[in-house]
A and B are shown apart, each in its own frame.
Chain A
Amino acid sequence: MAAREPGCDAPVVEASGSETVVDVLIVGAGPSGAVVAHTLAAAGFSVLCLEQGGWVNPSDYPANNPEWELLIQKDWHHDPNIRRLPSDYPVDVTDSDMSPVMFNAVGGSSIFYGAEWPRLLPSDFRVRSLDGVCDDWPISYEELKPYHDEVDAFIGVSGVEGDTAYPPGLTYPLPPLPLGKAGRIAAQAANTLGWHWWPGTNAIASHKNRTLEPCARWGTCEFGCPEGAKASFDLIYMPQALQLGVRLVTGARVSRIVTGPRGAAEGVEWFDLDGREHFQRARTVVLCANGIGTPRLLLLSAAGAHPDGLANSSGLVGRNLMLHPNCSVAGFYDRDLEAWEGPAGQLIHSMQFYDTDPTRDFVRGSKLQVLPLPGPLNALEIHRELGFDRIFGDGFHSTVAGHGSGILWAANTEDLPELSNRVTLSTTQTDSHGIPAPRVHYRISDNTRKILRFTLQRMIELHEAAGAVRTFPVELWVDQPGHLLGTARMGDDPNTSVVDAFGRAHDVPNLFIADGSIFVTSGSANPTSTITALALRVAQGIVAGARDQVTAA
């Protein structure tokens, strides 16, 4: 089996042999896996990364084809339960209000993310102290800031310094992307209402940066960037990691983490594409399999010494799942806004309603962003709720004629951690290797419902202030976003957390977690920026502690 680096004909990876013990084995080649791989390889570690998916090239993405609007309804759908690629595993959502989404490939879900790149705010790390609910993080905004700055510099984040929603000192390495007509109209509406907004911060290169091309505004960021300008982590960090000697095996689905007599991880069992089972030894194992895949793997790794799952003496593995339920209001205007033009990506964002306001009947809040609405078929789909006569027959042409006049206000709401929202193992669904699928038990809380309704009204007001002709409010996107958080939370107390402040499992000295699972609270900022900063911190912690690292050997 061999994987290929994009644009390279020579095999760069061969399947690992069980006889080889690697310093670090990483499960998952998404954003956190790529950052960890690069950081450890640069420090001289031998690194093997196992990824169940393959490489996807920018030329493969649906927007390269005129039928892209149909392709994203099926083969390129963001929901793995609809897409059902061989790299996907089913997600059992029979007990869930939402369908968590992801993409399984080198680059992980950053293949499909919008690359919106806000950091968490200082208040996010102190929700207990400030709001009297949930828990504080064991780290602060200021402690994480240097890691953010390093990741931002590497990937080339585009933005405008001085965002008034953040403490002073927040700068970006690349200039911003254009607001576009839609962004300017939305910004002027926020000005009319006296609300905060700021030019969008995006992990999309406005100028050539390392292995990323400059943005050419294809407008389809959330379905893959044909230009190779979006910082999906197959295009940035992972290529540099491979150059440093990281071995990446694609089509490798990890089924279990194996521990030794002393409780340390010995390695992992995994299946290749032909169904052959392998065992790979490692001195350290790092899980970067996202907030659904990581708890699934820990629960699959139950054994005699840990019958409820690995690293689960707290009973918190899989619990506190947070999904950032999204709401949105699409608005259509009486003028051409060139809605097919990117980035998408956020044109602007607003933190006006981010923090707790005691005059409201909920705690915490939401982060709002503006995106373009490209495509005439997509415009038609948004109008479907108006009924047959409005969009077919005589109504068809007026609907599609307005395709260029749409603006989308959308919002992430802060989902508070709840023990009952959790990932377990399905008893009825398995993946293509017969491994139990994750089962998601998730109910939207009253607090989150209130945030959704409140935010929806604010977005309607923004459209009204801008003069929208028609608005289409959606109180809940059932299958967005792919923000999978909290299922192996960090903390100082082993009784109330799964990993410590550097991602090390309390129960397993050489097992680390570096993905969104370790969030304590969710904030409402898009999380990949924070996930990668945490991953860098976890990796640098592994480097710093290597001399004293306990291993199975």
Chain B
Amino acid sequence: MSSSGNPSLPPYRRKPLRPLAGDERAALHRVADALIPATDMLPAPSRLDELDRWLDRALAAQGEALESILAAATALPDPGGPELDAALRRLSSDDPVAFHALSSTVAGAYLMVPAVRRQIGYPGQRRHPPQFDEAANQIMDGILDPVLERGSIYTPAG
């Protein structure tokens, strides 16, 4: 440990610890498409223009787990289809830790794509200060009356 670093602050990365090879990115696309099908409103994940940007961000958040995630993805059958679907099911039951890391990464990346967020109605965590009278309006309409009518419930302790 060096005095040059803040001991309470993890490194923040926008890119994975190393660039992905073409076959690795393709494997992640296949996994994403297998786990997350297209809908009437959204194409398959691999068809989303911005997926790769957010895949990189998701993999960056995984830090040193990058290699194990890529290893799990590239070990799955190519191409996709029923064989890949069956392999993912086996992975989820045989090695739930590896499946969790892989599936959280691709799902997390997909759910960061702005078009997806708009579609599911997720604004992201952000500032949304309450109106001046919002709290008062939410408790002054009689909702507390039943509690007040029952009176004190504490146990006196002398």
Q: Which residue numbers of A lie inside 8 Å of B, CB to CB?
A: 1, 52-56, 60, 63, 65-71, 73-76, 83, 85-87, 103-106, 121-123, 125-126, 129-130, 140-141, 160, 162, 164-168, 175-180, 183-184, 187-188, 190-191, 194, 196-199, 206, 214-220, 226-227, 250-251, 272-275, 336, 340-341, 351-352, 355, 374-377, 380-381, 384, 388, 392-394, 396-397, 400-401, 403-404, 432
Contact = CB atoms under 8 A, between A and B. Distances in A.
Name the prevailing secondary structure of the A interface residues.
loop
Nearest to B5: A86
Name, among A1, A71, A167, the residue most crowded by chain B CB atoms within 10 Å (CB to CB).
A71
A429 to B, nearest CB: 17
B8 A56 contact: yes
B61 A377 contact: no
Interface in B22-56: 34-37, 39, 54
B37 A403 contact: no
Contact of A73 (B12, B92, B104, B124): B104
B135 A206 contact: yes
Contact of B147 (A197, A375, A381, A388): A197
A191 B108 contact: no
A194 B150 CA distance: 9
A19 B154 CA distance: 53
B103 A104 contact: no
B73 interface: no
Contact of B122 (A104, A105, A340): A340
Nearest to A75: B10
A215 B132 CA distance: 12
A273 B61 contact: no
B104 A53 contact: no
A194 B9 contact: no
B128 interface: yes
Nearest to B129: A216
Given A73-B104, A206-B135, A121 B1 contact: no
A83 B10 CA distance: 9
Contacts of B123: 340
Interface of B: 1-3, 5-12, 34-37, 39, 54, 57-58, 60-63, 65, 85, 88-89, 92, 100, 103-105, 107-108, 111-112, 120-130, 134-136, 138-139, 143-144, 146-148, 150-158
A183 B144 CA distance: 12
Contact of B155 (A73, A130, A380): A130
B134 to A, nearest CB: 5
Contacts of B121: 336, 401, 404
Given A162-B148, A274-B3, 14 more contacts: A67-B54, A74-B61, A83-B10, A86-B1, A87-B8, A103-B8, A122-B154, A122-B156, A168-B152, A191-B143, A199-B144, A274-B2, A352-B153, A400-B120
B61 A70 contact: yes
B128 A67 contact: no
Contact of B8 (A54, A165, A400, A432): A54
B155 A121 contact: yes
B35 A251 contact: no
Name, among B7, B34, B139, B153, the residue most crowded by chain A CB atoms within 10 Å (CB to CB).
B7
Contacts of B156: 122, 167
B143 A188 contact: yes
B3 A272 contact: yes
A217 B146 CA distance: 28
A66 B112 contact: yes
A164 B151 contact: yes
Contacts, number: 223
Contacts of A140: 157-158
Contacts of A55: 6, 8
A10 B111 CA distance: 41
Given A54-B9, A178-B130, A274-B1, A165 B154 contact: yes
29 contacts: A54-B8, A54-B9, A67-B54, A68-B125, A70-B104, A70-B108, A75-B11, A83-B10, A85-B7, A121-B157, A123-B157, A140-B157, A140-B158, A160-B139, A165-B153, A167-B152, A178-B138, A187-B143, A196-B153, A197-B147, A199-B144, A218-B128, A274-B1, A340-B125, A355-B154, A374-B125, A375-B125, A393-B85, A396-B36
B143 A126 contact: no
A432 B130 contact: no
A179 B135 contact: yes
Nearest to A104: B8
Contacts of B10: 75-76, 83, 85
Nearest to B139: A199
A286 B82 CA distance: 64
A377 B126 contact: no
Contact of A167 (B35, B126, B154): B154
Contacts of B154: 121-123, 164-167, 351, 355
Contacts of B139: 160, 176, 179, 199
Nearest to A180: B138
B1 A273 contact: yes
A30 to B, nearest CB: 12
Given A83-B10, A164-B147, A165-B154, A217 B129 contact: yes
A275 B1 contact: yes
A393 B37 contact: yes
A96 to B, nearest CB: 21
Contacts of B127: 216-218, 227
B146 A218 contact: no
A226 B136 CA distance: 25
A523 to B, nearest CB: 12
A178 B89 contact: no
B148 A164 contact: yes
A191 B36 contact: no
B143 A376 contact: no
A67 B8 contact: no
B2 A273 contact: yes
Contact of A175 (B7, B61, B135, B158): B135
A190 B147 CA distance: 9
A22 B82 CA distance: 71
A196 B124 contact: no
A26 B88 CA distance: 53
Contacts of B62: 70, 74
